[in-house]
Structure formats: C-alpha cells, structure tokens
Structure 1
Amino acid sequence: MKAPLHGKMMEVPLTVSSLLAHASRHFGTTEIVSKRIERDVHRYTYRDCEKRAKQLAQGLIALGVEAGDRVGTLAWNGYRHLEAYYGTTGFGAVCHTINPRLFPDQIAYIVNHADDRYVLFDITFAALVDVLAPQCPNVRGWIAMTDEAHMPRMSTAASSYEALLAQHDGDFEWPAIDERCASNLCYTSGTTGNPKGALYSHRSTVLHAYGASLPDAMGLSARDSVLPVVPMFHVNAWGIPHAAPLTGAKLVFPGKDLDGKSLYELIEAERITCTAGVPSVWLGLLRYVKENGVRFSTLDRVIVGGSALPPAMLRTFKDDFGVEAVHGWGMTEMSPLGTLSTLNCEQAQRSADEQRRLREKQGHVVYGVDMKTVGASGQALPWDGVTFGELYVRGPWIIDRYFRNDVSPLVDGWFPTGDVATIDNDGFMRIVDRSKDLIKSGGEWISSIDIENIAVAHPAVAEAACIACFHPKWTERPLLIVVKHPDLDLSRDDLLRFYEGKVVRWWIPDDVVFVDELPHTATGKLHKLKLRERFGDHILPPDQKVEQ
C-alpha cells in the first residue's frame, strides 16, 4: 500500500490568542465599548485590548499561574472580562467562566471541581465572594476587576485587577501552544444534578468562531456593530467574544443593565446591527419600544437562543420593526453553536407563510456540526418533518467527555443531546421538547413547547409554560401556567378557546393557572423542574373531556 501524500502547508496552530492578535494587527482601531459597573461608558480599541490582555498574562504568570491551571471569572459583559478571556488562554491557562446566577453552593462546587487557582470578579459580586471564599480553600486569590479607588469593602482579602496590570508593561509574546490544549471551561446549569464541565480546546474554540461567523450563522463581519446580550458567563456568550475579533466587528458590552430601556438606548447610541440573547430579554426590549413608540434605526438581526423563539416574537420583530429574528439552538456541550434558521436562495422564494414556518424551527446545521434523530431501538429516523426521536450530534467543537469524568456519554461517536426533535427534508430541525418535558397522554406524546408557543401568540399572554399533571385515566395531561400582560384581561376559558383549530382537541390543556411570574434557570430558560414541584399535584377539572 502506498504511503499517503501529505500536503506541503505550514502547520500554524489554531490558538485563541491568534484571534485577538489578528484583530489587533488588522482591525487595531476598531472600537470595543463597555457600559461599566462604575456607571460610565468605557471605549478603547482591539489594539488596546491586546496590550492589556498581555499585561494580565504577565500578572498571572507572576502570581504563579501555569499552563493548564484554571482561572475563574465572575463577571458581566465588559472589556475587562474580554481581557480575561485572552489574558488567561493566551499563555496556556484555562479561562473558566462561572455563572453567578447559580446558587452559592453550586458555584462553590464548580470552583472546587475546576480547582480554580484565582478568581476574577466584578465588584457587584463582592458579597457573593465573601460567601464563596470560606468554601473554596484552594483558591489562592480573589481579584476584583476594578481600580484601587473602587475596591469594595469585604471580609475576603482581595486585590485590584488594575493594580495587577499596572505592574506590567504588556511587552509579551503569546507563546506557541498545542492547539489540542484546553482553553476554556464552561459548566452546565446543573438543573438535574451537579453541574458538569465542558472543557474546550484552542482548536475547537477557533473552529467554533469560524462557524459562528459564517453568513448563514451569525453572519458577522467588520461592518457589524455587535451587542452580545447573552452573558459572557453563559457558554462564552455563544462564541461572540471569539468571532468578533476574527471578523473585526465592533464589540459593544451592556454590563449588568439588561432592561428594555438600557438595551434600546445602547442599540441606538452605538448603531448596533446584530445582537444576541434569550427570549426573556427580548420581551422586555419589545415592550419598551412599543410602549414608547420608538423604532430601531440600524438593528438588522437578532440571534435568539437559550429557549424556543416564540413565533409571535419572530413576527413582531419582522412585521413591526423590520428586524430579522434568527432562531438558534445549541448546548454547553456544543460550545454551543448547532443550528440557525437562515434560508437558502430557493427557500427565500417560497411563500411568506412557508418561510415563516421554516424560521420558526431551530434551523439547519452550520458546517462543523452533523445531526440525526434516532428511535427507541437506536435506528436513524427519516427526515420527513413528522417522525420525532432523540437528537444526536457530532463535530469538532462537541465534547467527547465531561471534565474529570473518564466515562464518555457518546453513542457510536454521537453525543445524545436529551432533546426530542424532527428533521424535515430541507434539513431544518425542530425541537419537539426536552425528553423529560414531553407529556405522555394516553400513550401519545404532546409537545409542551408547541402548547407554550400557541399561548404566547395570544395578545394578553406575556409568558407561558406547560407541564404534565397526573390524570387517573390518561396518566398525564397538560397544565398551562401563564403570566398575563399588565392591564389586559384574560380568562381560563378564553385562552383555552384560543387553541381551537390550532391543535388536535386532545392536545388542548386541561386547565390554566395564572401567576405573577415564572421561574427561570440561571441561563434564562423556563425552570420546568420548579414548576413541576409546585404544580405537579394540581387537581385538574373533573369535567374535562378528552378524546384521543
């Protein structure tokens, strides 16, 4: 057998530091704008960012941080957090972004499981650090991401980030790193047990940045002004802090103020063209613009993920404001990008209704991800848009196993997502439900997501969740839990009548409960576990007639 013929190309490693070095060298004057915790607006450039990231790298090395060590962050979206992304990974350490919205015990577990050497934190989390520090004895130091003048009063001994940087000049060369080495560590939200760590590599992170930037993904370019509303502590803000330097896009960080008014003013002031976040954030933004009669002057597209994009929200963005809402799906285990609901040239020629039906799905894969649905016996299912099964994925930015766990979750090389989905003959995937959230009524399945999407299409419904309740005959029946829009009236019977003609009769919920607010997970998703704990024993009306 002949020996393979190898190409004669340079072997330049794909490293995270190369993304920022590229932006600094070729887009050096492009702005990075941040609303700071200190209540002002900070502006500088990619060139400034790289220098300060190198100063941070020098400072961490002086503190004894070595390649492979984990450095944690507890921070909002801002320029210092961006510097931490690169100042840690640039010399071979691992940037571990920690979700501050988790319970303190979960955060302590994560810090200890990751074995973080140092933790960088925004001063708004000073009280949280005081709670965490006694539970995390292996952390060598806590570094407040501020200057000496704004250092908070704490029981924990903490040092100043700016003081650390001031000790170094930034005259530092990013070292050559094996692209297979670890770069970033993100943990799942842990709603069904302890959080699990997804340990990304330099190679997977750079490839993910390429994938996220593709025209039929987020479509970033040097002409964009990008506002990542999705937190940098949530799966690396969906890769935007890596994709923006790759493309030279302007970056705008919102800090901790994510209310509708603050976001709208920032979008207009910085001429934002692209933004990304979870549906609950966009509810607040849309409410603000409608109530104040204002419009968007530059916003072109909104990437919506984290939970299902309600069809009513998609229509509002497009029909009322001319903004394209792009539905996306992914997971922490996928870095997280998997699919986006953009259309090809043929699909864009179809009727408006057909285009909308496609956009309401989670979308097609980007290059780098493959997917399939499997049945109960593990067989691959047809792509007919009807047959649903468990969704499996594979690709170069999808985990092989969890951090500090030698048992791989893969099945024949595929990662089982835990989602139940269909794939149509266009290759568009639609999440039917999480496998644990499907409602099995009389042996037949009901999608809680479909029930929720119909509810939020009602003008009086602000948010809705659907869970299973015990039923003596059908085993489970759907219960709808609803938050009404302020000042709008809505009765149980009115809402149930709204379902008529939209789904088969036996899918219509048996009852509706109105609440002031719905619980959400630390990543902005509906917290179905808490709802099941609270309403799982709800007594359904005895006169409900269900024909299946």
Structure 2
Amino acid sequence: MLGLMQDRPLALPHVFHRAEQYFGHKTIVTAEAGGETSTTIAEWAVRVRRLATALDTLGVNADGRVGTFCWNTGRHLELYMAAPCTGRVLHTLNIRLFPEQLVYIANHAEDEVVFVDRSLLPLLWPLVDKLDTVRAYIVIDDGADVAVPDDPRVHDYEELLAAASPFEGQFVVEDENTAAAMCYTSGTTGNPKGVVYSHRSAVLHSLITLTADAFSLAERDVVLPVVPMFHANAWGLPYGCLLAGADLVLPGPNMTPQAIVGLLEKHNVTVTGGVPTIWMGMLPLADGRDLSALRLILCGGSAVPRSLSESYRTTIGIPITQAWGMTETSPIATMSTARSQHAALTEDQRADVRARQGQPVPFVDIRLVDPESGESQPWDDAATGEIQAAGPWIAKEYYRGEGGGAQFTEDGWLRTGDVGTGDRYGFVRLVDRTKDLIKSGGEWIGSVELENEIMAHPKVAEAAVIAIPSEKWVERPLACVVVKPGETLTGEEVIEFLTPRVAKWWLPDAVEFIDEVPKTSVGKFSKKTLREKFGGYQVAGPERT
C-alpha cells in the first residue's frame, strides 16, 4: 500500500520561491572595498531571475557547470540560486588552493563559465589558458583597484544582467536527485576529489539548519557566515537563511578579525560561523564590544580547544558551539548543543561536554569502527574508533569515481578518516585523524587531544602535534608550538604545564617553537606540511616512557 501524498520534488527552486514570496522585505548586506551595500530579498530575487536568462545568453548547457571564484557576497548568493534553479550545477572554486589544484579542479569538473570577483582576478587570470573547458569569464566588480583584461572572453557582470530580461514564472527541477552543486575536497593527499550535492540533499540539509538542536535558524535571526561560500556551501547557512527568512550579513573580501567583530556589533548579528583560527584572532578584540545580540557562535573545520570556547563564555557570555562534518557530509553531521542530561552538571563539566563534537543530527547515522579489526563498537562511554557516516546528504562516491572505493565501505558508509570516542547518548569527541594518530609502544596517542591541552596554556596561540620516529616506541609525539605575541615560553614550561593534565607517556618527547601552524585551504592544520618539515627529526634528550 502506498501513501497518498503529493509527489513534489525536494529541490532548491522551492527555497528561492519561498524567499521571494514571503521574505522580500528582509535584507542582504555585503561589505565591500568601497563600503557596505544593502539589498532586499525582493530586489535580489529580480537579479537572480535576470542571471537565469543570462546563463542562457552565455550558452551554458542545460546541466553545465557554473564556476564561481568569489568571496561571500550578495552577488555570489545570486549564483547560488540561479545556477541550480535552472538545472545547472554550481561549482564553487576554492580561492585558497594552489594554482595547479585550481586548474585540475576546473578541468575535471568541465566548468563552462567562471564568475570571478575583480579583486581575485590576479589569482585566476594567469591560469586561464590552462582551463580547457571554460569559454567565458564574468567579472564581478567588488570595488578592487584591479585592471580587467581586454579579452573577448571577459564579460562584465552588471552589464550582463542589465541586458538580460528576468526569467518569468516558476523555476522547475523535476528530479530531486539532479545535481545542484559541486565542491572539491581540499586535496591534502593526492588530487582533490569532487563531491556532488543533489537538490534533495541540499534541501534536507538546509531543513536541518532550522531545527532546534542544530542551528535553530529563524526569521528573526541576523546571520553572518564567516565560513567561505566556496567551502561546502558555507555549511548550508545561505540556503538555510533563505528558507527561514533570516537577514544575511556577508563579509566580502575583508576577513580580518577587526572587520568581522565590527560587522557583528554594527548589525546585531545573532548567528555566525567560522573555523577556529577566525575565533582565535577575534577573541582579543571582543572584550568591550557590544556583541549581546549573539546567541550562537558556530565553529567547525577542526576541533575547538576547550580553552578557546571558555574564553568566549567569560568574555562575551556565550561559549563556542561545535559542529562537525566534512565536504562529503554537506557538511553538518553532528552538533554539540546542550541537552537535558547535561542540566545537572557543573559549569566545568559542561565545558567538557562543549569540547565534544556532539550528537548526530537527525537523519545522519554515525558508527565507531575499530581501525584495526573493522568491528563496529557499541555506543557506551568506552566506545572508540573511526567515525563512519551514512545519511541522505552524505556522499556515496566521488565524481567520476575518483579515489576508488577506499573511503566508502561495502555496506555504503563513508569512512571519514576521523577517530573519535562516544558515550551512551551518541555524543562524539574527535580524537584524531586516522593518518595523524600516534601509535607509541602499541598504544594510541590522540594528537588533537594533546593539542587542545597545550593550547590551554595562557601563553600559547596555536599548537600542532605530529609523530616522529622512535627506535624504542616506533612513534613519539613532537609538539609544534606558536607563542602569543609578546610572550616567552620554553619547552620545559610546556612539559611542566602538561604533566598533571595528560598521562606521562603522552608527554611530547620534544617541543619545537614555530612562527605559525601551516593551514590547508579550508583553515585546518596542515600536519602533512609539518611532517615534511620535521621528517628527519632527532630527539636530543631521553625519550619519555
């Protein structure tokens, strides 16, 4: 027996039409080089409709890939809708990738056109003769003092829209499994791999951002996505905000802590999200600023140090809330919001809970699998293993089958490469990446946990821990530490600080002070770079046991 409900596709045109019909009075603010611009959703929707017909004028195929090389702006948001609502595929290009990676990605995806912010032309234009499938480059003037190439392939965004008549009627995507967007992994090992989001996955993921134990996005919110729109669809915030009717504040090219804290204060932002390095940089500037409107500071990309979250709680009154996921999970998979079982805990105990990555959001299944035996672990307070995920917005394979089946199990789960522990409520705590685990004397040392303890030191800005060879123990931890400006610190002081906080055999065999921890294109610690730098490291003193 079948249900008797209407068979309507879960597709992004609904998100657009809902925003256009009900929330035309709401605003989208963009910070640009020449100052802020503000538009209503009603005005923005007309521009989306013009852009839809402009894509036809450009000759983009019915399911063609539309590349974007842009900051977080209202015009980038126009592309977020115009491409998928016309059946094309939005392909957000990561502006922080190496040139050879950008060339590989654009060619691999077969981008037909690329929309580029004027300020980013110096990064993109030297590569254009290597981009085999791109026929046109549309320059979006963001106020930067950058010369626009005199080339027949180059078009002006505003002129293109002015010449286009608005698309009339309703956008229709009949098959909800049609591709809506593409995002490539950061390519820490080998070439980046393409993740293809469907309309169905994008809509379901957006709905989750509205739920109470996730982002709880609502019409009354003012949202500032610091996370780039070229990274996993900005964690679903743009689509979620349009679905809820929230106001948007988009930071544009100025991503400095000073600019971000100014926007948060000026526009009474209620929800914001970014990677830990953003919030580390902003913390010294937050004291004395009126951030009382903030109700949620989202953080993802890598584990949030407990000390950082608590510093925000004491400085502005709310801690950082962790979300966990990856490009392959769209990306929201877990959220660390407070639950009823935490009500009786002390503030210190609740801080420990907030240091976890949280419980799977609805429709995402998580299991912990022993990395050696391959056996799934029971959900109890001793559960530990590789985090594997399944659900309607979790990738089942990579574009064109790249990477083989190594990251997907035979029974259809995504192998995330993250190692975590769990409890009986399903709350996950990230311990490490499988490739970053340190196995010393047959026992595992979690580098992420060790890093968080080091970063609790008041003089430490950042810390990354990697494995170095040991004749006796096979591997031992090396701590790479960045000291806060104006402070002095010795390796002995770091070890002394750690001694009461971790097991003796976890103590690093050496501490190296570095100017900064290298980062990947999405702001995560690049331990691969550190391993290359310290590949032949020799411990000067006796190894710890």
TM-score by length of 2: 0.96
Deviates more, 1:163-172 or 1:521-530: 163-172
Task: Report the counterpart of residue 535 of structure 2 in structure 1.
Answer: 536
- Aligned partner of 1:274 in structure 2 is 271
Residue 87 of structure 1 deviates from its aligned partner by 0.8
Q: Return the alpha-carbon distance in structure 2 between the equivalents of residues 53 and 143 of structure 1.
A: 15
CA deviations 1:289-325 (Å, max 9, x no partner) are: 24xx434231121000001101001101112211231
Tell me the SS of whatever aligns to 2:273.
strand
Q: Which amino acid aligns with 2:261?
A: Y
Deviates more, 1:404-413 or 1:175-184: 404-413
Work out whether residues 144 and 151 of structure 1, in 8 Å CA contact, stay in contact via their aligned partners in 2: no
Match of 2:111 in 1: 116
Does the residue aligned with 2:28 lie in a helix, a strand or coil?
strand
What corresponds to 2:365 in structure 1?
370
What is the one-letter code of the residue matched to 1:529?
K
Partners of 1:385 and 1:260 in 2: how far apart?
38
Find the counterpart in structure 1 of residue 86 from structure 2: 91
Work out the CA distance in 1 between the residues paired with 2:460 and 2:5: 58
Work out whether residues 119 and 146 of structure 2, in 8 Å CA contact, stay in contact via their aligned partners in 1: no
Q: Is the 2:265–2:289 contact (alpha carbons within 8 Å) kept by the matching residues of 1?
A: no
User: 2:461·2:482 contact (CA, 8 Å) conserved in 1?
Assistant: yes
> Where does 1:391-470 land on structure 2 (aligned, <5 Å)?
391-405=387-401, 407-408=404-405, 409-411=407-409, 412-470=411-469
CA contact (8 A) 1:72 1:97 kept: yes
Partners of 2:473 and 2:245 lie apart in 1 by 56
Match of 2:354 in 1: 359
Whether the 8 Å CA contact 1:91–1:174 is kept in 2: the answer is no
Shift of 1:68: 1.3
For 2:509, the aligned partner's letter is D
Change (3 A) 1:283 1:308: same
Q: Flag the 1:386–1:537 CA change in 2: closer, same or farther, 3 A.
A: farther
Unaligned runs of at least 5 residues, structure 1: none
Residues of 2 paired with 1:96 and 1:348: CA distance? 43
SS in 1 for 2:208: helix
Are the aligned partners of 1:273 and 1:299 in contact in 2 as well (CA < 8 Å)? yes
Which AA in structure 2 matches 1:45?
Answer: T
Q: 2:216 matched to 1:214?
A: no
User: Which of 301, 312, 332 is equivalent to 2:307?
Assistant: 312
Q: CA deviation at 1:78?
A: 0.3
Find out whether 1:487 has 2:514 as its counterpart. no
The equivalent of 1:23 in structure 2 is 19
Residue pair 1:73, 1:98 contacting (<8 A) in 2 also: yes
State the 1:10 CA deviation: 1.7
CA deviation after TM superposition for structure 1 residue 151, in Å: 7.4
- Map of 1:196 onto structure 2: 193
In 2, the alpha carbon distance for the partners of 1:244 and 1:522 equals 25
Task: Give the superposition deviation at 1:149.
Answer: 11
* Bigger Cα displacement from structure 2, 94-103 vs 418-427: 418-427
Deviation at 1:148? 11
Distance 1:282 1:536, change over 3 A: same
Superposition deviation, residue 498 in structure 1: 0.3
Q: Is 2:252 aligned against 1:255?
A: yes
**Is residue 165 of structure 2 the alignment partner of residue 175 of structure 1?**
no
Residue 264 (structure 1) shift: 1.0
Deviation at 1:217, TM superposition (A): 0.7
Indicate which of 41, 46, 53 corresponds to 1:51.
46
User: 2:229 pairs with 191, 207, 232, which one?
Assistant: 232
> In 2 relative to 1, CA 499–14 (structure 1 residues): closer, same or farther, beyond 3 Å?
same
Deviates more, 1:41-50 or 1:106-115: 41-50
- The alpha-carbon deviation at position 422 of structure 1 amounts to 1.2
Number of residue equivalences: 539
Query: One-letter code of the match for 1:272?
Result: V
Q: Provide closer, same or farther for how the CA distance between residues 147 and 429 of structure 1 changes in structure 2, counting only shifts above 3 A.
A: closer
Task: Tell me if structure 1 keeps the 8 A contact 2:65–2:109.
Answer: yes
CA contact (8 A) 2:271 2:296 kept: yes
Amino acid at match of 2:458: P
Residues 416-456 of structure 1: per-residue CA shift (max 9 Å, x gap): 11111111112100111000000111111100001100111
- Residue 386 of structure 1: how far off its partner (Å): 3.1
Deviates more, 1:295-304 or 1:388-397: 295-304
Q: Secondary structure at the match of 2:439?
A: strand
Query: Helix, strand or coil: the match of 1:106?
Result: helix
Secondary structure, aligned partner of 1:137:
coil
Structure 1 residue matching 2:401: 3-state secondary structure:
coil
2:341 equivalent in structure 1: 346
Moved more, 425-434 or 399-408: 399-408
- Give the 3 Å change call, closer, same or farther, for CA 42–506 of structure 1 in structure 2: same
Cross-structure match for 1:165: 161
Deviation at 1:45, TM superposition (A): 1.3
Partner residue, 2:126: 131
Aligned residue identity for 1:466: V
Q: Which amino acid aligns with 1:369?
A: V
Change (3 A) 1:148 1:214: closer
Question: Equivalents in 1 of 2:230, 2:429: separation in Å?
Answer: 27
Question: What's 1:205 paired with?
Answer: 202
Q: Does the CA contact (< 8 Å) of 1:364 and 1:427 recur in 2? A: yes
Q: Measure, in 2, the Cα distance between the counterparts of 1:202 and 1:543.
A: 57
| Residue 95 of structure 1, CA deviation | 0.2
Contact conserved, 1:104 with 1:131, CA < 8 A, in 2? no
* Cα separation, 1, equivalents of 2:143 and 2:343: 55
Query: For the aligned residues, what is the CA RMSD?
Result: 1.6
Counterparts of 1:325 and 1:266 in 2: how far apart (Å)? Answer: 18
Cα offset, 1:500, TM superposition:
1.3
Within 5 Å, give how 1:316-335 maps onto structure 2: 316-335=311-330
- Return 154-163 or 61-70, whichever deviates more: 154-163
Aligned equivalents of 2:218, 2:319: Cα separation in 1: 17
Q: What is the aligned counterpart of 1:388 among 384, 387, 410?
A: 384
> What does residue 379 of structure 1 align with?
375
Q: How far is 1:12 from its partner?
A: 1.7
> In structure 1, what residue type is equivalent to 2:205?
H
Q: CA deviation at 1:150?
A: 7.5
Deviations 1:87-114 (A, max 9, x none): 1111100000000100011000000000
Deviates more, 1:168-177 or 1:116-125: 168-177
Give 1:187 deviation, angstroms. 0.2
1:241 to 238, 241, 245: 238
For 1:288, the equivalent position in structure 2 comes to 285
Instruction: Confirm or deny: 8 A CA contact 1:464 1:482 kept in the other structure.
Output: yes
C-alpha contact (below 8 Å) 2:387/2:415 kept by paired residues: yes
Deviations 1:486-513 (A, max 9, x none): 1112111111100111111010111111
Structure 2 spans left out of the alignment, 5+ residues = none
Alpha carbons 1:68, 1:93 under 8 Å: kept: yes
1:355-383 alpha-carbon deviations (Å, 9 max, x no partner): 22111100001112000011223221122
The 3-state SS of whatever aligns with 2:309 is helix
